[in-house]
Each structure stands twice: as structure tokens, then as C-alpha cells.
Amino acid sequence: DSPLTLLLGETLEKALVIGAEYAGFTVCGYVFNGDVEEADGDGDNVIESYGFDANYAFEDETQDMDLLVGGSYISNIADSDWIEEVGEHYYGVDEVEDYVGAAAAYLHFGIVGFFFDAEYMASTDHLDTILGDAGKPTVWNIEAGYNYNWWRNLEIALQYAGSDDCGFLGLPRDRYGINFNQEIFDNTVVSVGYLYDEYDGDDALDRNTRDLVFGQLAVEF
């Protein structure tokens, strides 16, 4: 199951991207024409959404250590694929009163097989639609685990994730999980995992809790 930060933030649009990299520092910016428009925008087909990302990456092979830390911003969080799909499918809404941006921060640290990942994303203002104030959607995801090369690499990861003001999007208030990713051939990984979700009273599907067992076979070409 996808991380909550990916669900809230992933925006698949054609974009113009420009960036630069120097000594581990990377900065990029982009512009695109999103699908979710402002209610008083008259459906203008113009490029008016934008965003940027800045990060620093470091790797020391002698110490078996790597680090990635960064932050990003998008000017219209309502154009994320998840918000757009839920808005149209469940509420018949494809417009917002005003564009609302979102900021994110992320961190990865790995050393001698152990790793720690943390992501946080929050809208910068209240998200308003014709149905009213949807709050300030916020999500976070924390994972920690270990890579154990016993035959081929086995990755074991524990997860805690959560959200605020995301019940209308069907995202859980709290999520706990464990995941096993076993490499079985070159570029081939089998994954199995378990997630336990707890929901607020405003969940779009009126759920209290959910247990999810999942499996996946991934082949990289």
C-alpha cells in the first residue's frame, strides 16, 4: 500500500523542469498546467501551477553510509492525483475556491544495513471547495528497518504513518505496519506486509479500523 505522503503529494502531470546539481546539492523547479482549477478561473487552460525541490545527498562507501535530506513545495496541492480522484468520484468536485500550496520535508539515513526514513507534508492554508472548508491536510510517514543479506538481500521495515484533516480523503488517522522485501533473482523482489489503520469519525467510507495484508512481485527491467 502506498505511503500516505505519496498518496497526498503525487501529481502526474506534464511539466517543464529546470534544475542544477553541485557537490551533492540539487535544486530544481517546474511549472505545469493542472487539472483542478479555481472556481472563478473560467476554466482557463493556462500554465499557472509550479513547484520546486531542494536536497542534499551524501554517500560514504567505506563506512557503508548514505544520507538524503531535502524539502519541496507545490503551489496547488488539490491537483494531486489522490485529491483530484476522491473529489470527483465521491463529492463531484473538480474546483477549489483558491489554489492552496503544500510544503514537504524528507530525510533518509542508512548505515551498515540499517536505515531510517521520515517524510512530512502539509498544506500551507485551508483547502476550500464549494462544499466548504476541508481543513489543512497533513500527512507523515516514518520507516525504520534493516537489510540482511542471508541468501539474497532481505529488507525488513517497520512503519508508522498518520494524517490530520484527511478523513474526507479516506486516509487513516494512524497507520502501523511491517513489510518484508525479499530479493529472489537479480532485479526481482517479492514483498509481503501487514498494515493496521485507525480512522477518524469523518472518514469518507465510515470506517473505524482496517487490517490489510498485501503481497507484490516487482521485476525491474
Residue of 191, 197, 106, 114 lying closest to 160 (CA atoms): 197
Write the pLDDT tens digit of every residue in 21-55. Answer: 999 999 999 999 988 888 776 666 788 899 999 99
Would you give the DSSP letter of residue 173? S
Measured in whole angstroms, the distance separating CA 143 from the mean position of its chain's CA atoms is: 13
The pLDDT of residue 6 is 95
The dihedrals phi and psi of 163, each to the nearest 5 degrees, come to: -155, 160
The pLDDT of residue 42 is 65
The residue extents of the domains of the chain are 4-219
99 pLDDT more than 70: yes
When pLDDT is averaged across residues 3-19 and rounded to a whole number, the result is 94
Residue of 137, 174, 142, 140 lying closest to 158 (CA atoms): 142
Judged by average pLDDT, the poorest of 60-69, 124-133, 139-148 is 124-133
Give the residue with greater pLDDT, 140 vs 45: 140
Helix (H) / strand (E) containing 51: strand 49-60
Write the pLDDT tens digit of every residue in 106-134. Answer: 999 999 999 999 999 999 999 998 778 88
Would you give the DSSP letter of residue 97? S
Of 46-50, 78-82, 155-159, highest mean pLDDT: 155-159
Report the 10 Å Cβ neighbour count for 32: 21
Q: CB of 66 within 8 A of CB of 24?
A: no
For residue 213, list its beta bridge partners: 194
Report the alpha-carbon distance of residue 118 to residue 121 in Å, rounded. Answer: 10
11 pLDDT more than 80: yes
Would you give the DSSP letter of residue 206? -
Q: What's the pTM?
A: 0.92
Determine what percent of the chain is predicted with pLDDT higher than 70: 98
Protein fold of 4-219 = Porin (2.40.160)
Measured in whole angstroms, the distance separating CA 133 from the mean position of its chain's CA atoms is: 22
